[in-house]
Structure 1
Amino acid sequence: MFDPYGSDGTMARYRADKLQRWALSLMSFKYVIEHVPGEVNAWGDLLSRWGAGPVLPAESSARRVARLAVVDRVSPLQEAEFVWPSEGEIRTLHQDPQYQEQARAAGVNWDDERALLLSPTGQVWIPPDATELQQRLCVIAHAGASGHRGAKTTAAALSEVLVWATMPADVSTFVQGCLHCMVTAGGKIPRPHGETLVATKPNELLHFDFLSMLKGEDGSKYVFVLKGGMSGYVELVSCIDATSDQAYASRLDWFKRCPPMGV
């Protein structure tokens, strides 16, 4: 049996792997499978039917293919219109008359030296309805070089230079939805809606992710982990930065050494 899931899609993984190992062992022998009718092989036919019970009517089965739902946006960084916020953009918002009225109501004053609306303690005021700008500021304070710290640390870093009314709640919601923090903190990771993907042939499913480590003598501080979905073979690649170029090059090297079947 070279495809264990072909006859039983709910077969346990360990049992399917065992059958695959038997199939690989049998490939080293040259043999021919011949079917012997029951009339000729009476004892074999008798033993195969011993204690089999009543003959059940034949049932037809069909395999169902479920289409995975693709999530268009899982991170604000993946938006095509995403732009890093700048002081000039904030200054343009502060010059809007409607925001100046909101600033006066919030006790925020205009600073002529910086040409910005500042709080009495010196933080730059962000309008309460500028949610897109607030989200991009959360990205800067939490992701990337900021180290994906917790909600309290991220809010403390933001509150040193910025201020808006709902900052603690907004930062907490943003950190709870961070995919990187879900993986490292053991939270519930969102998955595409559909059936569990199970590899039935080499390189049909490849798992990969970056693992953060202590900085080495050569400057490497990440390990790119690749694991074959069927074989379980694991490859570790040390890298300096966790970038898409590094992931692209490592996957190309994987397929150079382990090419897909039929290529």
Structure 2
Amino acid sequence: MTKLSVNINKIATLRNSRGGNNPDLVKAALACEHFGAEGITVHPRPDERHIRYQDVYDLKAVIKTELNIEGNCQEQKFIELVLANKPAQVTLVPDVLGQITSNHGWDTIANQEYLKDVIPQFKEAGIRVSIFVDPNPKMVEAAATTGTDRIELYTEAYARGYHTNKEQAIAPYIEAAKVAQEVGLGLNAGHDLDLHNLKYFADHIPGLLEMSIGHALISDALYSGLQNTIQMYLRRLGKL
């Protein structure tokens, strides 16, 4: 069944807005695990505007589920951070400097040689590799020849179209998922998934292993509490 990995970037954003350590990111991550999260995701950026590099070390020391570190592998400091901490999974995202949030997947054709060069650095350290891609069959096919273990489908387009025509919105993702199965890639998904669109996506995407959810989940927790919110998301995935 599909695992829920909770992205805690927004908790770090709140902490950083006042300095100090309130809310305590490690305590929040452990609470997420205690309340049922099956993984913790962080996406450190060079300006450390939310997740700080030290946070990754602190989290790795205590996380009992899977730690997933997302980020731009074109930054040498990111590569060094991941190799030093050896998370269960690294998700490679083609961000540019100063980008507010991830907004596109890899062009796995144009970046084929680069990805073939960088991915083995992580795999040789025993880290599962996932790369962020758009729901384009050609990009999925090309991802399979980079050496990655998984892809993460960028789901913003699905979330944007869900309320007007959910069948149309999900169609490219179903096709991409089928291609991923055919070429032997594991499948993750993330970005703008929430309590409204999550179940439909999970029910219709074959072979979906993991969903990473942060902004919507942490926002919902402001109204419903962290424990209740995580369990609501798990119920959408058929876990409770």
TM-score by length of 1: 0.23
The structure in which a higher percent of residues are strand is 2
Rg comparison, structure with higher value = 1
RCO comparison, higher one (Cα < 8 Å, 6+): 2
Query: TM-score, normalised to structure 2's length?
Result: 0.25
More helix by share: 2
